[in-house]
Structure 1
Amino acid sequence: MTAQQSPPAPVMAWAERTLGPLAVLRGAAAEPPLGRAWDVVRTGDGARLQVKVALDPDAFTRETFAHRHAVPALGPGAAPRLLATSAAHLALIVTTLPGTPLTRLRLKEATLRTVHWRAGFLLAQLHQAARRTGTAHHDAPTDLPRLADEAARHLGTAGDRLSVDEQKRVMGLADRLRFVGRLPLGYIHGGPLGSSLLWSADAQLALRDFESARFAPAVLDFVDLACGPWAPQPGLRTAFFTGYGRTLGHDEELALHCLTALTAAHRLAEARAAEDKAPRTASRGE
């Protein structure tokens, strides 16, 4: 097996010393792509688990901290359980959860509204868990200026995918983002919620992948959904914030508007970068 198909040998050895003999079911890139993850089954009792290797020490620290101090607030079955960690390998072992990511759900809108209501309720629990974590807040104010600073680089990469007027509009929104008022803070998930929220056949919703979790403006957790399912189906946004327990204030609405535009530019930049890389990859294989 290649490294992508199975955990690195030292990680697998540690996992088996910790849990007993394991068999790898499949290899997959973690979502968001801040590391790698493999589904495994413990041969002794058939328990399905996941072995994760973080991209860097910061991602390992964030996910470990989240599981120990914030994830329990979500309640049983609403998130994977942390079973073991190895700082030496930047590795974690967590339980797996059934379900389909929101990005792949094909449900009637009435059912989707229920899913998004529960998603709002679940995110509110996570955001409020910050009050119990005791985690430092000093980095929270830097998130929005950092994202604004990245806008010019993304526009440069996106190139002619955006017109001159569109580029000016994105840069104007980036500048506005630097000066929004005081925003509500929370312990955010920080990753793409569309792929991290799982809806199961028994109508349960769960949240996974906490490698980006941190104390930050809560509005950052709404951007992925605003750029995805909420755009064509605004009723899903209404259902979400009903479950969340409050609507957005004026400054949060402004921040979300700016962040949505910056995220769109970022995605265009990623698409252009992938296109530019593809021919070079193909030429190496000739």
Structure 2
Amino acid sequence: MPSAWEHPSLSPQQRARLGELYPDASIAADHSWPFGITVLEFHAGEAHLLLKASATSHHLEREYRAHTRWLASLAGDVPVLVAYDRAAGLLVKTFLPGRLVLGSPAEHDPAVFQQAGTLLGRLHRGLAPIRAPHYEESMARKTHAWLGRAGGLAPAAQLRAAADWLEAFRPSPVELVPTHGDYQPRNWLVRPDGRLAVIDFGRAELRPWYSDLVRMQHGDFATRPGLRAAFMDGYGPGPTPDSGSADDAGRRLDALMQAVGTIVWSQGMGDAAFEEHGRTMLARILADS
């Protein structure tokens, strides 16, 4: 009988390692992403598991770090890490049954957003904030680098305005907490019992808490303010207090970096829809400046 791991996107090393770990596996579904990460739902004995495989992506390393350092506060509401092989580029975790919020009626349900806010609050408060004197300096450099690659991808006047704002920006110390990095309905799962779960921590990192709100502020919150109110009601107060104008500037820097980064990354990956979303973000951020 041929091995279940004869998948065209798996390398010989990955196939061999998976054959050692799960010799009797059967593939249930292929959820692979179009941009370089193989994602396979499979059964091994009585276990229902999910494989992520990539020989080059940092996504797996970030997900492993999140599961081993930061997700205890979300126990029971996130998948469980089962195996990780850095050399082979393999990560295995439990598969959570349910339905993605994105594209379902749940995407318009304030009760779902309230649950999502509660879960994010648990993540952000799961570790005492870490003071980072030079974080914003690093983010400003990254944003400047993204702008250097964005020529011709957004209106020139907007890129100049972004560069001018960045030139005037003065970094301040910030406090960092565990963040998801892509917190929005495509990474929320409604389980059969109605409870929400969070998946995909491949962009998890220590960042200011408000970083996890940027994608929703330029997505669901932008057109449905009632969902934002429900979300923030579930979230509660921020894990660190606002600091007036410095905090506002830091939020704008984070949003600007995400907008320009989205444009440039999406153009390189050929994702036209996400690239256009980045341009919409950029226009909205500059209009609010």
Native 8 Å contact 1:173 1:258 kept in 2: no
TM-aligned CA deviation for residue 186 of structure 1: 0.3
* SS of alignment partner, residue 182 of structure 2: coil
Q: How well do the aligned residues superpose, as a CA RMSD in angstroms?
A: 3.3
Amino acid at match of 1:204: R
Q: Distance in 2 between matches of 1:38 and 1:68?
A: 22
Structure 2 residue corresponding to 1:170, chosen from 152, 159, 162? 162
Q: Distance in 2 between matches of 1:95 and 1:195?
A: 18
Q: Distance in 2 between matches of 1:175 and 1:98?
A: 48
TM-aligned CA deviation for residue 187 of structure 1: 1.0
Q: Distance in 2 between matches of 1:136 and 1:210?
A: 23
Q: How many residues align?
A: 262
Q: Deviation string for 1:69-90 (max 9, x for gaps)?
A: 22222021x1110111212212
1:89 corresponds in structure 2 to 88
Q: Distance in 2 between matches of 1:60 and 1:138?
A: 28
Unaligned 5+ segments in structure 1 are 277-286
Amino acid at match of 1:49: L
The 5 Å alignment of 1:85-234 reads: 85-107=84-106, 109=108, 111=109, 113-131=110-128, 140-141=135-136, 143-158=138-153, 161-162=154-155, 164-175=156-167, 178-191=169-182, 193-234=184-225
2:236 corresponds in structure 1 to 245
Q: Normalising to structure 1: TM-score of the pair?
A: 0.76
Unaligned 5+ segments in structure 2 are 1-5, 273-289
Amino acid at match of 1:244: Y
Q: Structure 1 vs Structure 2: percent identity of aligned residues?
A: 20
Change (3 A) 1:153 1:62: same
Amino acid at match of 1:101: L
TM-aligned CA deviation for residue 127 of structure 1: 1.9
Amino acid at match of 2:127: A
The 5 Å alignment of 1:52-91 reads: 52-54=52-54, 56=56, 58-76=58-76, 78-91=77-90
Native 8 Å contact 1:117 1:240 kept in 2: yes
Q: Distance in 1 between matches of 2:82 and 2:195?
A: 22
1:22 corresponds in structure 2 to 25
TM-aligned CA deviation for residue 30 of structure 1: 4.8
Q: Which structure has the higher relative contact order (CA within 8 Å, separation 6+)?
A: 1
TM-aligned CA deviation for residue 58 of structure 1: 4.8
Q: Normalising to structure 2: TM-score of the pair?
A: 0.75
Structure 1 or 2: larger helix share?
A: 1
TM-aligned CA deviation for residue 242 of structure 1: 2.0
